[in-house]
Amino acid sequence: MIRFRPLEESDLPQVDAWLRAEHVAEWWRDPVEIAVAKRQAALEGRRQVEHYVILENERPLGIIQTYLVADYPDWGRLIGAEPEAAGVDLFVGEPDAVGRGLGPEILREFARTVVFSRPETTAAVATVEEANIRSWRAFEKAGFRHVRDVEEDGLPHRLLRLDRRYAQ
C-alpha cells in the first residue's frame, strides 16, 4: 500500500542520502546541498511547497512534492498553466524500488489523495526532461498527458498534465 506523510526535519539526512544515489543524481538537477536547503526552508515556512515522504507498506521510499502554480508565476507563464494548477515532482530514492512500476501508482495515489483533495485545484502539472524516458512514461501511465514541449534550464522537457476530471 502506498501512502504519504508530511516531510519532517528528521527525514533530511535520509533525503540527502537518496539525492546522492546514482539513479537520482542522474536526473535531479539541484545540487544536493541546495535541494536539502529548499526542503529545510519549506519546513520553516519560507517556501510555499508541500513535501511528503512516500511510504510503501510503511517503508520510506522517496519524496514527492506539490505547489500551486500561483506561488510560482514565472514557471506558470513558462508552461502556460493557470494559477489554480499544482506542480508535482518526485523521486524514488531506494534503488531496489525503481523500475518496478511503483512510479505510476505513487503518482495516481498522490493526485487522488493530496493534489485533488484541495477542491479549487484544476490540474496536476509536471515538466520532465525529454531524456528521462522512465519518468515521463511513469507520468503517462498515471494518466498524465503530454501536452507540449518546453525548454527549462536550457534543456528540452515534456509538459505533462492531469486534469481533475481524469483523475481517479
Out of 2, 12, 16, 23, point to the residue binding ligand COA (CB under 6 A): 23
- Other beta carbons within 10 angstroms of residue 117's beta carbon come to 9
Closest to ligand COA by CB, 12 vs 25, is 25
Stretch that binds ligand COA, among 12-20, 31-39, 49-57, 95-103 (CB under 6 A): 95-103
Pairing of strands 86-92, 123-129: parallel
- Are 52 and 90 spatial neighbours (Cβ–Cβ below 8 Å)? no
110: number of CA atoms within 13 Å, CB side?
36
Query: Which positions from 65 through 94 interact with ligand COA, judged by CB under 6 A?
Result: 89-92
Stretch that binds ligand COA, among 21-29, 50-58, 114-122, 148-156 (CB under 6 A): 21-29
CA distance 168 to 149: 25
Q: Give the footprint of ligand COA on this chain (CB under 6 A).
A: 23-24, 27, 89-92, 98-104, 128, 132-135, 137-138, 141
